[in-house]
Amino acid sequence: MPKSSSRIIMLADCQSFYASVEKRAHPEYANKPLVVAGDPARRSGIILAACPLAKSYGVTTAERLGEALAKCPDLVVIRPRMEEYIRVSLQITEILQSYTDLVEPYSIDEQHLDVTGSLKLFGSPEDIARSIQQRVMQQTGVYIRVGISSSKVVSKMACDIFAKKNDTGIFTLPQEDLPSVLWPRPVHQMFMVGSRMTRHLYRMGIHTIGDLANTPLSKLTARWGVNGEVLWRIARGIDNSPVMPGTYTHQKGIGHQMTLPRDYHTWEEIKIVLLELSELVCQRSRSKGLMGSVVSVGCRGADFDMPTGFSRQMKISDPTNITDEVYKAACSLFLRHWDGFPIRSLGVSLTDLSPDTTYQLTWFDGREKKRELEKTTDDLKRKFGDTAIMRASSLMAAGQAKDRSHKIGGHYK
């Protein structure tokens, strides 16, 4: 257990989150291998979550649905319900907040807690972790694994490397135990080290987390600059960042990205999606009372083996949340940088945000009429749904607005 004078930081992780929510909703599948997957007829037909029983057949997250069915023909396939997963995630957040007000979401299924000031109320860190497990399981049907340490980065590794593998789902990793417990582990298991970085580290003779921790910092920074220092600090468990409940409340940018259902080859097809994305971005901006001064456009090529694409941005003359103005900038950026090859994903974003309560008035471009018109269409969509009013171009074969209206974050609601 961490020393009494240090912080007590936890990382609470939901096991097979989407699949667990669905098993709770469908008790008839309790003893069957179950996965949550996108529409198999589209590119999104991949495994988003697999229950432990499905994983025992070799089914893995992010593999194609067809590959999973080949491994386990009896697999129960559930289409994702993102609204429900968001609701359950917020429910779990409320449970965690009953132990401490210092709860910081890391993702939809992972959250950090600082329980340093809660020990006198709820007992030892392990007692709190067990209580969290019991309450979350009773109320949501989701099994929680908990890593415990004195920093966020070490609690994350305590959870991922150890708690997920033991019978209790709880593991405490004090800072002073890093050399004996964490450092012997393979370097690819360390937080923030992916397959490409692993290959680079192997070529440097670094095979364990301890090897990385004991590599001279100057050698790492000479190779990777500040990223080298980040890796070195993670290996040594150096992380003083606080658990901050408001980390994600400040809006830095508003964007939408879409994986296309097929390869788009022509500008006539692409510009339809660019308009739809620009409209989504501006609609969200208006709902938050924000405008942006920087428009960004990104795309990825259709060739998986030789990926192409770009991400570029441009400053516009005045902050805006008007669809036509963002669309015009997005088109200009895209045409300037597109290599003409087919694309499979497209994104538009608006950054350098400011409140829309103050803006430059102009006389000749009808901006005020456009603002009022778009506020009216926003009201109609809020009241009757996103498809209550659509642009005619979205009804063409390349349009995605109707299909996207049934989704959240690219997945079905």
Buried residues in 265-283 as b, exposed as e (16+ CB within 10 A): eeeebbbbbbbbbbbbbbb
From CA 377, how far away is CA 315, in angstroms rounded? Answer: 27
Q: Which of 99, 89, 140 is nearest to 119 (CA)?
A: 99
The count of other CB atoms within 10 Å of the CB of residue 399 is: 19
- Is residue 43 domain-shared with residue 192, that is, in the same domain? no
Domain containing residue 303:
253-412
User: Do 334 and 285 share a structural domain?
Assistant: yes
The Cα–Cα gap between 239 and 211 comes to 19
Task: Examine the domain organization and report whether 293 and 191 are in the same domain.
Answer: no
Taking 60 as the threshold, does the pLDDT of residue 193 lie above it? Answer: yes
pLDDT band per the 50, 70, 90 thresholds, residue 152: very high
Q: Which of 110, 269, 279, 374 is catalytic?
A: 110
Where residue 63 sits, what CATH number does that domain have? Answer: 3.40.1170.60
**Cα–Cα distance for residue pair 242/234, rounded to 1 Å:** 15
The structural domain count of the chain equals 3
Residue 44 inside a domain? The answer is yes
* 296 shares its domain with 401: yes
DSSP H helices, 125-252, are 125-140, 152-157, 195-203, 209-213, 217-224, 226-235
How many separate helices (H) and strands (E) can be counted in the chain? 15, 14
**Model-level pTM greater than 0.85?**
no
The domain that holds 190 is classified in CATH as: 1.10.150.20
Is 74 a member of any domain? yes
**Single residue among 80, 110, 134 that ends a domain in this structure:** 80
Question: Does 109 count as an annotated binding residue?
Answer: yes
pLDDT digits (tens, 9 = 90+) for 46-94: 899 999 999 999 999 988 888 899 999 999 999 888 889 999 999 999 9
361 & 289 share domain: yes
Which of these three, 45, 80, 115, is where a domain ends? 80
Query: Which residues are bridge partners to 345 per DSSP?
Result: 259, 300
What distance, in Å, lies between the first and last C-alpha atoms of the chain? 41
Contact present, 111 and 99 (Cβ < 8 Å): no
User: Residue 233: which of 279, 192, 205, 265 has the closest Cα?
Assistant: 192
**Same structural domain, 268 and 338:** yes
Domain contains 271:
yes
**Residue 374 domain-assigned (yes or no):** yes
pLDDT in tens, 224-266: 999 999 999 999 999 999 998 865 555 678 888 888 888 899 9
Say whether both 189 and 271 belong to one domain: no
264 and 187 both lie in a single domain? no
Place of tokens 């390869």: 263
Both 291 and 206 in one domain: the answer is no
Residues 281 and 192 in one domain: no
| Residue 144 buriedness (CB in 10 A; 0-12 / 13-18 / 19+) | buried
The answer as to whether 306 is a domain residue is: yes
Task: Say whether 167 counts as a known binding-site residue.
Answer: no
CATH number at residue 301: 3.30.1490.100
Residue 208 DSSP one-character state: B
Reported as a pLDDT band with limits 50, 70 and 90, residue 360 is low
- Whole-number mean pLDDT of the chain? 88
Q: What are phi and psi of 410, to 5 degrees?
A: 90, -5
Identify whether 228 is part of a domain: yes
Close Cβ partners of 317 (under 8 Å, ≥ 6 residues apart): none
pLDDT in tens, 68-78: 999 999 999 99
Based on the fold, state whether residues 217 and 327 are members of the same structural domain: no
Sequence-distant (≥ 6) Cβ neighbours of residue 227 within 8 angstroms: none
Residue 32 counted as domain residue? yes
Active site residue 22: no
The answer to whether residue 146 is domain-embedded is no
Regarding whether 302 and 217 lie in a shared domain, the answer is no
- The Cα–Cα gap between 129 and 115 comes to 10
| pLDDT band per the 50, 70, 90 thresholds, residue 110 | very high
